């Protein structure tokens, strides 16, 4: 799964960090911040959209996520991702995807 480089040009002057009020999500070698239903990452002095391309199913995921499962919920566009074991899962048909 690759992540496209798409600068978030309308991000404005807000600086994400530990006390900014947005959920931080570990994503590979960096932190993403959930903001307005999508994810931002700092990249060479600006903020990028950090959205994966492609479809990657999370194989052998026996846990069913739901409102009471104990994992943090993150609104992501038109669906909810669940933070689990350092990554995000999204329900997709009869399986869970890596986001």
pLDDT in tens, 9-50: 555 667 778 888 888 887 778 888 887 777 788 878 777 877
Q: Regarding predicted confidence, which is higher, 9 or 84?
A: 84
Sequential DSSP letters for 38-50: EEEEEETTEEEE-
13 token code pair? 């002057």
Confidence of residue 5 (pLDDT cuts 50, 70, 90): low
Residue 6 has pLDDT above 70, yes or no: no
- CB-CB contact of 79 with 67 (8 Å): no
Question: Could you tell me which residues come within 8 angstroms of residue 32 by beta carbon, excluding any fewer than 6 positions away?
Answer: 24, 25, 26, 39, 40, 41, 50
């Amino acid at each position: 799964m690759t992540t496209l480089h798409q600068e978030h040009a309308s991000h404005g002057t807000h600086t994400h960090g530990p006390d900014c009020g947005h959920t931080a999500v570990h994503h590979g070698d960096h932190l993403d911040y959930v903001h307005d239903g999508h994810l931002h990452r700092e990249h060479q002095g600006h903020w990028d959209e950090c959205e994966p391309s492609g479809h990657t199913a999370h194989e052998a995921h026996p846990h069913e996520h739901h409102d009471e499962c104990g994992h943090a919920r993150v609104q992501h566009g038109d669906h909810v991702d669940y933070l689990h074991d350092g990554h995000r899962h999204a329900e997709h048909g009869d399986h869970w995807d890596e986001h």
